[in-house]
Structure 1
Amino acid sequence: MNLRQVKYFCKVVESGSGNAAAKLLCVAPTAISTQLGLLEEDLGGQLFDRSKRPMQLTSLGQFFYPRAKELLLQAQRLQEESNRVAIGNGGWLGVGFIRSTLFSLLPNVIRHFREAHPDVHLDLVEKLSEYQVESLHQRRIDVGISRFIGEYERHPDMDYRLIFDDPLVAVLPAGHPLAKQSSFSITSFQDLPFILYPKDARSPYGQKLHAYLREKGVNPTVHHEAIEIHTAFALVGAGLGGTLVSRSMTDNNRSDVVFLPVEGIEISTSLVAVTRKGEQNKLLDNFIEILMSRGRQA
């Protein structure tokens, strides 16, 4: 399958026939027919029901068409952005981030960076910390904004810069009796259902939290596991339990949860910028400078 075949297919759908598409594309009708045949061969099925006039899309064609349109739009955007970079009218920077940074740090960093570099395209890619190094190796991103708890693996070909330490706080349902207190004792998790997150086989984050509580003599019951932090907040807000989150996440305008400092907790999370070692990139350097500056103010 190639973009020409996809383009021909979409033009046939939009114009109503192969002949009409050929006129619009300024090619021979046989070229349309040949490319459609090759596309259908690659896909393993017919895109059009040719027994009907005008031709109608088969179920495969109905599935394929909107996705083909999106593919063509993405290809066009890629070409336009690449052209701008090639002639020096812009640049590109890939930023991997964890969702929790949307609550505080990332919006400020993006705003300040865009003020300094309005013509640079920021490609923002949401990824858990454990997946960011892979994207850095693939050059899908230039920097990963990661969160770790306790010790973490440091790849020898990556640089790790601490943005700031982010203490843990308890999150409770707003209507819970313990939410009226000025602080939260870590031992209270013994009787409070625990919301574990993120639910991902490659992320040890939630398991480290749970293991730490057990080390402190607290063995909370995990009633629910959330894929990401927004879901964890929603489950807490629904009264299904409590959890621990980094303090920077407390500014999220939720009225159904309460955040409390935790008594007896000795660990915190670390927000870290991960980049390829030895990378020479002025745009990246400027982004890191803004990131570290905003982090110092957090």
Structure 2
Amino acid sequence: MNLKHLRVFCQIVDSGSANLAAEKLHIAATAVSMQLSNLEESLGGKLFDRSTRPMSLTTLGQYIYPKAKALLSNARQMENEAKGIASGDYGWLSIGFVRSTLHSLIPESVRVMREEFPKIRIDLDEMLSEHQAENIRKGTIHIGISRQIGQYEKEKDMIYIPLIRDPLVAAIPINHPLAKKKTVTPSELDCLPFISFPKDPFSKFASQSLNYLQEHGATPNVGHEAKEIQTALGLVAAGLGITLVGKTVAKNNRTDVAFVPIKGKQLESEIFAITSSDKPSLVVQEFIRILCARAMH
């Protein structure tokens, strides 16, 4: 199966017949029939019921048609953008980010970047902080937006741009008595199971959160492990436990979860940008400028 075969198939459907499709594609009718047969052979089934006039789509054809249209549209868009990048008419910026920054820096920064540089193609790729440096080396992303707790090891071939110091707060079910308090102590959080996230062997966030609670008088019992922050907050909303998140996450977030500051020595996380120590491209430099401006608000 290739794009040419899919294009012929979609044109037959759109035109209503193989002959009309051949005219619109400016190829011989025999070539249309051959490419359709090749496509059906590769898929292992008939796309048209040829016993009807006009031909009607089989179940396989009905399944393939919308997906083929979407695939062809995406291919055209990719080709146009790639040609624009190759010619210098367009730029490309790929951003890796941790999901928690969707509640603070990422949306507004990307919006401003798109407004100021409409000819820049922006790709967003969610990934843990621990994976971002390697993906920058591979060229998968140009810049990462990371979150770390406490001291973290800096890669020698990367530069780190601090953006936000973000204290952690307790996420508590809205109908729990602790949700009404202005602050809570770590030991008070023992009344509910702890919801640990992200569930990933490379992430240190969960273990660092638990260590903080233990060092400040709590004995947390892990009741659930969530893959990512929104799942963890959903479990909190369901009354299944508590967790710790950055204060910036609380802004414009769920109304069925209370975000309560922790009394005493607060645990802070740091949100920062990471990119290669090689001179960043002008596109990356401009995005860093926008990030820093948003972080100051």
Give the TM bin, normalised by the shorter chain. Answer: 0.7 to 0.9
SS at match of 2:262: strand
* Cα deviation 1:31-54 (Å, max 9, x = unaligned): 2233334334444x1242555325
Deviation at 1:127, TM superposition (A): 3.0
What secondary structure sits across from 2:123 in the alignment?
Answer: strand
**C-alpha contact (below 8 Å) 1:186/1:265 kept by paired residues:** no
Change (3 A) 1:46 1:162: same
Q: Say yes or no: does 1:13 pair with 2:8.
A: no
SS state of the match for residue 5, structure 2? helix
Are the counterparts in 2 of residues 150 and 268 from structure 1 also a CA contact under 8 Å?
Answer: yes
In the alignment, does 2:140 pair up with 1:140?
yes
Give the deviation of 1:25 after TM superposition.
Answer: 0.9
How far off is 1:278 after superposition?
A: 0.6
Other-structure match for 2:23: 23
Structure 2 contact 192–240 (Cα < 8 Å) conserved: no
Shift of 1:252: 1.5
Flag the 1:252–1:156 CA change in 2: closer, same or farther, 3 A: same
* Matched residue, 2:127: 127
Alpha-carbon distance in 1 for matches of 2:161, 2:175: 39
What is the match of residue 103 of structure 1? 103
CA distance in 1, matches of 2:92, 2:132: 18
Partner of 2:47: 48
1:38 paired residue number: 38
**Cα distance change of structure 1 residues 5 and 165 upon mapping to structure 2, 3 Å threshold:** same
Conserved in 2, the CA contact under 8 Å of 1:148 and 1:205? Answer: yes
Q: 2: CA distance between counterparts of 1:205 and 1:35?
A: 53
Paired AA for residue 96 in structure 2: G
Cross-structure match for 1:224: 224
Residues 178-187 or 106-115, more deviating: 106-115
* Deviation string, structure 1 residues 137-195 (Cα, Å, up to 9, x no partner): 44332111122224445444433332222111111122211122221111122221222
Shift, 1:288, TM fit? 0.8
Q: Which deviates the most, 109-118 or 52-61?
A: 52-61
- 1:93–1:38: structure 2 CA closer, same or farther, 3 Å change rule? same
Q: Is the 8 A contact 1:46 1:58 kept in 2?
A: no
Check 1:8–1:288 CA distance in 2 against 1; reply closer, same or farther (3 A cut): same
- The equivalent of 1:256 in structure 2 is 256
**Paired residue for 1:283?**
283
User: For 2:122, what is the secondary structure of its paired residue?
Assistant: strand
Unpaired runs of at least 5, structure 2 = none
Q: Residues of 2 paired with 1:247 and 1:46: CA distance? A: 55
How many residue pairs end up in the alignment? 296
How far is the alpha carbon of 1:247 from its aligned partner? Answer: 1.1
| C-alpha distance in 1 between matches for 2:215 and 2:55 | 68
How far apart are the structure 2 equivalents of 1:140 and 1:47? 39
Q: SS in structure 2 opposite 1:73?
A: helix
5 Å-filtered alignment, 1:60-209, equals 60-152=60-152, 154-209=154-209
State the alpha-carbon separation in 2 of the partners of residues 59 and 279 from structure 1: 54
Partners of 1:85 and 1:35 in 2: CA distance: 32
CA distance in 2, matches of 1:266, 1:277: 32
**SS of structure 2 residue aligned to 1:148:** strand
Give the Cα separation in 2 of the matches to 1:153 and 1:119. Answer: 36
Asked if 2 retains the 8 angstrom alpha-carbon contact of 1:194 and 1:224, the reply is: yes
Tell me, yes or no, if the aligned pair for 2:48 and 2:61 is still in contact at 8 Å: no
In the aligned structure 2, how far is the partner of 1:77 from the partner of 1:180? Answer: 51
TM-score with structure 2 length normalisation?
0.85
User: Are 1:48 and 1:55, in contact at CA under 8 Å, matched by a contact in 2?
Assistant: no
**CA pair 31-194 structure 1, distance change in 2 beyond 3 A:** same
- For residues 38 and 156 of structure 1, what CA distance do their matches in structure 2 show? 53
Task: Give TM-score scaled by structure 1 length.
Answer: 0.85
Q: Percent identity?
A: 45
In the aligned structure 2, how far is the partner of 1:18 from the partner of 1:155?
59
Q: RMSD of the alignment, in Å?
A: 2.7
Looking at structure 2, the residues matched to 82 and 144 of structure 1 have their Cα atoms a distance apart, in angstroms, of: 23
